[in-house]
Amino acid sequence: MDIQRHGEFVVDFFEMDRVLDELARTFAAPSATTWFKVTGNKSPTRDEYRLKVIEFMNLFEDALSAGFHDCPNSKDLLDYAKKRIKEFADEILSGKNKDVEKRYKYYLDHG
Specify the pLDDT at position 8: 47
Q: Concatenated DSSP letters for 53-92?
A: HHHHHHHHHHHHHHHHTTSTT-HHHHHHHHHHHHHHHHHH
Number of domains in the chain: 1
Specify the pLDDT at position 10: 56
Q: Is residue 7 part of a domain?
A: no
Q: Would you give per-residue pLDDT tens digits along the chain (111 residues)? A: 455 555 545 568 889 999 999 999 999 999 999 999 999 999 999 999 999 999 999 999 999 999 998 898 899 899 999 999 999 999 999 999 999 999 999 999 997
The overall pTM is greater than 0.85:
yes
Q: Is residue 48 part of a domain?
A: yes
Instruction: State which residues form the domain around 86.
Output: 14-110
Helix axes 46-68, 98-110, angle to 10 degrees: 120
Q: Is residue 37 part of a domain?
A: yes
| 23 vs 56: CA distance, rounded Å | 9
Helix (H) or strand (E) holding 5: strand 3-6
Beta strand pairing status for 9-12 and 3-6? antiparallel
